[in-house]
Amino acid sequence: MIDKGDWWTSPTEADNGQLIMVTGRRDIDTFRKNPRFNIRVEVTWRYQSDSTGMPDEATSKLMEDVQDAMQAEFIKDPVAVLTGIYTGAGERNWVFYTLSTHIFGRKINECLAQFDLLPITIYTENDPDWAEYDEMKAASEINPE
C-alpha cells in the first residue's frame, strides 16, 4: 500500500453490530485551509462480507490495489486528497475532498482504467466546513488508537 500521509485507525461498529475499521488522515491542513477543496466525494464499494462484515482476502487485496492507484494519482496531481477509509458491514468507503468533480471524475477514470469493471458508486456533496472529516475525527477520539 502506498503510505503517503499520517494515518490513524480506530474500530467502531455499524448499527447491526458488525465491525467497521475507520482509517483517517491527520495531515490535511494544507488542503483544508484551501477554500477550493470544498467538495466531498465518497467512492463506495459494496461487497459480499463474511459474518463479521469484512471482505474476503481476494476482495481485500483488489481494494488495496484500487486504493493504491487512487492515492498514486492524487499524489501525482493533487486535485483531491483521500481523508478517510471505512471498511466493514459489507462496504468500503473512501472519502476524498476535491476542488472539482469534473477533474476528480476524469482522474478516477484514468487511474481505475487498468482494472476490470469495479462495483463502485460515487457520491458528491458540497462540504466546505469538512463536517464529515470532523465527525470521523471525533469518533476516533472516542475510540483512541
Q: Where are the domains of the chain?
A: 7-142
Question: What digits encode the pLDDT tens for the residues 43-78?
Answer: 999 999 998 899 999 999 999 999 999 999 999 999
Reported pTM: 0.92
Distances (CA, A) of 130 to 1, 47, 115: 26, 27, 30
| Euclidean distance between CA atoms 33 and 133, whole angstroms | 13
- Write down the pLDDT at residue 144: 45
- Write down the pLDDT at residue 138: 85
- Write down the pLDDT at residue 4: 60
Contact 39, 127 (CB under 8 A): yes
CATH number of 7-142: 3.90.1170
- Mean pLDDT score of the chain: 92
The DSSP code sequence of 101-143 is HHHHHHHHHHHHTTSSP--EEEEEEE-TT-HHHHHHHHHHHHS
Cell 498514486: give the residue. 72
pLDDT less than 50: residues of the chain: 1-3, 143-145
